[in-house]
């Protein structure tokens, strides 16, 4: 299947700093990328949907100014957690889709710990 990578896999930062997470589709062009958040022992919650070249669509309750999403190319989307706080500590997972195809390909996730 298609491969999606995330970088970094793990990051620890101080409260108040910003953290950027990259999501790359390695062997296909991803017209749409999705960002999810997963707290320990919980399910994945969709945060936002990004289409290449346009603004991201955020789910209700997700602050767009806090979670900046950029999808500048068909193979790269970035999520920046601005002014991170301990409550932002979570597992962030991206997925990538092609056109109207049903299957999404998930990245390995990024574990963020804010001290």
Partner 1 sequence: SQQGEEDPQALSIQEGENATMNCSYKTSINNLQWYRQNSGRGLVHLILIRSNEREKHSGRLRVTLDTSKKSSSLLITASRAADTASYFCATAPTDSWGKLQFGAGTQVVVTP
What residues line the site for partner 1 (CB under 8 A)?
1, 6, 32, 34, 36, 42-46, 49, 59-60, 91, 93, 95, 97, 100, 102-109, 111
In whole angstroms, the minimum distance from the beta carbon of 11 to partner 1 comes to 14
In whole angstroms, the minimum distance from the beta carbon of 83 to partner 1 comes to 26
In whole angstroms, the minimum distance from the beta carbon of 65 to partner 1 comes to 21
In whole angstroms, the minimum distance from the beta carbon of 23 to partner 1 comes to 11
Burial (CB count <10 Å: 0-12, 13-18, 19+), residue 36: buried
CA angle 101, 104, 109 (to 5 degrees): 165
Cβ closer to partner 1: 67 or 105? 105
Cβ closer to partner 1: 17 or 64? 64
């Amino acid at each position: 299947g298609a491969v999606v990578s995330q970088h970094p896999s793990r990051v620890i930062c101080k409260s108040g700093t910003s953290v950027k997470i990259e999501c790359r589709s390695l062997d296909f062009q991803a017209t749409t990328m999705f960002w999810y958040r997963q707290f320990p022992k919980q399910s994945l919650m969709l945060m936002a949907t990004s289409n290449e070249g346009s603004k991201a669509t955020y789910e209700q309750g997700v602050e767009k100014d806090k979670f900046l999403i950029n999808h500048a190319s068909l193979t790269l989307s970035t999520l920046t957690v601005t002014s991170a706080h301990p409550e932002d500590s979570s597992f962030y997972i991206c997925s990538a889709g092609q056109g109207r195809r049903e299957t999404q390909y998930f990245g390995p996730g990024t574990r963020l710990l804010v001290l």
